């Protein structure tokens, strides 16, 4: 039985968010998340031509961005064994100040300019690793060979949906029994967990409109359907 929650709520909500999970002694093998990058860009979604802002989590820019990141990062450390953050190249130095990562993986989006509007401006990104890390990741580079919009022919409401195949590739060596994503967005973690056969995952997203994206993802994935060889064939390699 799959036990998951896609909460339309602030992850710091004292009744159902991180404070409650910590109070109830929840423990997660992995947090994999893609927070807002404190930068707004403009582009089109999947070639649709629609012009709008991207990577904006709240209705207005986040004040004291570094302190804000520190606050939720400290909470995650209390309940997560491993934390993977897609931080954005612009914020890498800031995260080094917050806490030096145990490791990192470079993410090269070869066809990024052809789809997701955030990828139009950022073809190289980085994932930072904290906590319990396997040596498999040392000096690793991921090539994303094709854009998510082209691969799936999906149209998302979220401006910058992550490629679930990259997340599956990152998660595979950890083999988590449960996961959490506090910036769920289009629900990438949910699809990755379902594909890998991970039965328990929690996700938080403040903007309820993206729940439709999550439902779209779950409707298009078979539980336990992925393995490492499939991922290599389908567009991600190292």
Question: Is pLDDT larger for residue 180 or for residue 53?
Answer: 180
Q: How far apart are CA 68 and CA 54, in angstroms?
A: 19
Which pLDDT belongs to residue 237?
44
Which pLDDT belongs to residue 228?
43
Task: Report if residue 185 sits inside a domain.
Answer: no
Question: Is pLDDT larger for residue 54 or for residue 160?
Answer: 160
- Residue 171: which CATH number? 3.40.50.150
Q: Quick one: average pLDDT of 216-228?
A: 75
- pLDDT tens-digit map of 38-77: 755 443 333 333 433 344 444 566 788 999 999 999 999 9
Q: How far apart are CA 3 and CA 43, in angstroms?
A: 36
Task: Report if residue 186 sits inside a domain.
Answer: no
Write out the residue range of the structural domain in which residue 221 sits.
3-180+191-237
Q: Which residue has the tokens 């039965």?
A: 199
Task: Report if residue 58 sits inside a domain.
Answer: yes
């Amino acid at each position: 039985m799959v036990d998951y929650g896609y909460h339309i709520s602030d992850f710091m909500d004292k009744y159902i968010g991180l404070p409650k999970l910590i109070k109830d002694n929840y423990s997660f093998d992995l947090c994999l998340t893609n927070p807002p990058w404190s930068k707004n860009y403009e582009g089109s979604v999947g070639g649709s031509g629609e012009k709008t802002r991207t990577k904006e989590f709240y209705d207005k820019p986040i004040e004291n961005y570094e302190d804000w990141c520190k606050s939720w990062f400290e909470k995650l450390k209390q309940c997560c064994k491993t934390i993977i953050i897609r931080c954005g190249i612009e914020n890498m130095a800031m995260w080094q100040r917050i806490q030096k990562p145990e490791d990192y993986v470079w993410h090269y989006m070869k066809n990024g300019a052809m789809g997701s509007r955030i990828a139009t401006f950022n073809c190289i990104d980085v994932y930072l690793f904290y906590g319990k890390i396997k040596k498999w990741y040392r000096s690793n580079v991921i090539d994303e060979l094709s854009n998510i919009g082209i691969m799936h022919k999906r149209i998302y409401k979220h401006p910058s949906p992550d490629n679930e195949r990259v997340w599956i590739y990152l998660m595979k060596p950890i083999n988590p029994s449960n996961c959490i994503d506090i910036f769920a967005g289009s629900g990438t973690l949910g699809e990755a967990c379902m594909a890998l056969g991970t039965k328990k995952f929690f996700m938080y997203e403040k903007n309820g409109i993206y729940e439709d994206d999550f439902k779209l993802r779950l409707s298009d994935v078979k539980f336990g359907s992925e393995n490492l060889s499939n991922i290599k064939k389908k567009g991600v390699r190292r």
